[in-house]
Amino acid sequence: MKILIGICCGLLFHLAVSAQPLIPVPARIIPADKGCYPFGSTEKILLSDTTLQNEARELQRILAQRTGCRAEISLAAGQTRRNIFLQTDTTLKHPEGYRLVITPRSIRITGKDAAGIFYGIQTLNQLLLERDGKTASVPCLQIEDAPRYGYRALMLDPARHFIPAKEVKRFIDLMASYKFNTLQLHLTDDQGWRMEIKKYPQLTEIGAFRDKHSGPQGPHNGFYTQEELKDLIRYAVERHVEIIPELDIPGHTAALLLACPELGCAHRDSIPVQLGKTTDRTLCAAQEKVYEVYADILQEVCALFPARRIHLGGDEAVIDKNWGHCPDCRKLMQAKGFKEVREIMGYFFGRIHKLVRQNQKELMLWCELDNIRMPASEFLFPYPKDCTLFTWRMGLTPKTIELTRQAGIQLIASPGEHCYLDYPQYKGDLPEFNNWGMPVLTLQQSYDWDPGYGLPTEEQKHIIGIAGLLWAEAMQDLNRVTYMAFPRAMALAEAGWSLPENRNWENFKNNLIPHLADLTRRGVSFRVPFEVFNAETRKK
């Protein structure tokens, strides 16, 4: 009997989902038997307190766009005949959670916090997707919702091809529409240094301009001033998006080493540094000047960004060619009693981690399993317990989940085979398809992913979120970025927000259609996933 009830409840849920094109799918939808809330030419938005003005303005904007109505904002001094209520309720269980209740006489959005109310507004926005500029109504229903993971991110890569701040704002708007709450900005790499550091102006004077014949604002040239970043951070905060800066070290540092060559290892083969090309050069772990310069850089970066975390890379450093041949690093190994070059990585990030802590931040790094001694009897995990790691290398996520759990380290899931949105979406999809032979990552491959890999709760509870990554070697402007991101980012939004038992590929496909039409109305470039709707294409 219980099994039959469960099947019926699941069927009713999926029928309710299919009737409303919501992405990501909510935790619970309770449709009413009949009725709707009709929007008039004017509406009132009533607030439980003044701290919700930002959310009220977002709802005001959406109602004007979707229904054409003018909405007045005021404190809830008493009910009128028709009302739209925004209110907080701290008794709700989950941060960012909300309840949306629509009756013929009222719309009530209740959130655990302001973020929850904002996401309830985004859900209401999606209920109005096909009503742009027209007098509209929404069906009576109740939605109770909260995210599966508290960390839901997309990453932009202005280091490879610069994205002006006003374009980043457009991307933040898209993220917020699908309940992403974190933007990771990859600000430094071999191809460019994109953030003003006042104490070291040469970082941007030299490192931000790799093509003298290109303009100052991308794709090859440009950087964000600290004032621009402050404005960008404020803009993101209003949309409940936190910006996390990433400054990659000790590898991916050609732009830095071109501006400050004294920070690199001594090389017997004198590998040249060329801005825009990966040269396998790294910072010298034995140079005190490296730690002095990064103490200054981190002080400025951490003072600017209010996010509690900072990402410092740690990936793909060719340490054997650098630390393994550098006489200073060899002396460091001898002094510390290190037997292997890779042991220097623990020393390097141990010192960097202290600088991060001094600035009241938490360290984030890409997890490199090459830095781990195996077998388990010789287990060595060189990462500090209070850092957060990303799993990213293809095929290694299950092992990374296991090792980080054993080490007591938090993990963000961003495996290449599901989350690398720079991978081509279809065979022959240029230019990405010709970018160093990257594998195809289809929309369904992104959607079918379970960040917890079906593990028991205890074995996956250290996974705190997901991230979709947009490395920009082949993306020269935001139009190409959004083309690569959408609709796959919608699939990842659902992986990060929705409960696994509520997700359904066929429902997602049906829900996708009005969202793609809406992106078209918004002037957003995206790839039409024709193959998922074309039976003949799917057979090939």
Catalogue the active-site residues: 189, 252, 316
Q: Count CB atoms within 10 A of the CB of residue 262.
A: 10
For residues 158 and 186, the answer to whether their CB atoms sit within 8 Å is yes
* The amino acid at 340: E
Of 295, 393, 301, 291, residue with least CA distance to 347: 291
Tell me how far CA of residue 394 lies from CA of 91, 414, 471, in angstroms. Answer: 41, 9, 15
Adjacency order of strands within the sheet including 83-88: 28-38, 137-145, 98-102, 106-111, 83-88, 42-47, 70-75
Which three-class secondary structure state does DSSP give residue 97? coil
Those residues whose C-beta lies under 8 Å from the C-beta of residue 204, and which sit 6 or more positions away, are 193, 194, 195, 196, 197, 223
**C-alpha span between 62 and 56 (Å, rounded):** 10
Sequence-separated (6 or more) residues with CB below 8 Å from residue 285? 250, 323, 329, 332, 344, 345, 347, 348
For residue 96, the number of C-alpha atoms closer than 13 Å in the C-beta half-sphere is 22
Question: What's the rounded Cα separation, in Å, for the pair 385 and 365?
Answer: 12
Residue partners of 408: CB distance under 8 A and separation at least 6: 385, 462
Rounded Cα gap, residues 308 and 383, in angstroms: 18
Find all residues with CB under 8 Å of 513, minimum gap 6, and list them.
21
- The distance of Cα 419 from the centroid of its chain, to the nearest Å, equals 10
Interatomic CA distance for residues 180 and 466, integer angstroms: 10
Contacts of 124 (CB under 8 A, 6+ apart): 59, 62, 100, 107, 109, 138
CA–CA separation, 176 vs 522, rounded Å?
A: 14
Helix (H, G, I), strand (E, B) or coil at 389: strand
Number of H-type helices and E-type strands within the chain: 20, 16
Dist. CA 362–CA 153, nearest whole Å? 17
Q: Which amino acid is at 301?
A: V
* Angstrom distance (rounded) from CA 163 to CA 482: 12
Cα angle value 52/57/60 (rounded, 5°):
125
223: left (phi over 0), alpha (psi -120 to 50) or beta: beta
Q: Which residue has the tokens 């995206």?
A: 526
Question: CA-based diameter of the chain, in Å?
Answer: 81
Residue 389, phi then psi, degrees to nearest 5: -105, 155
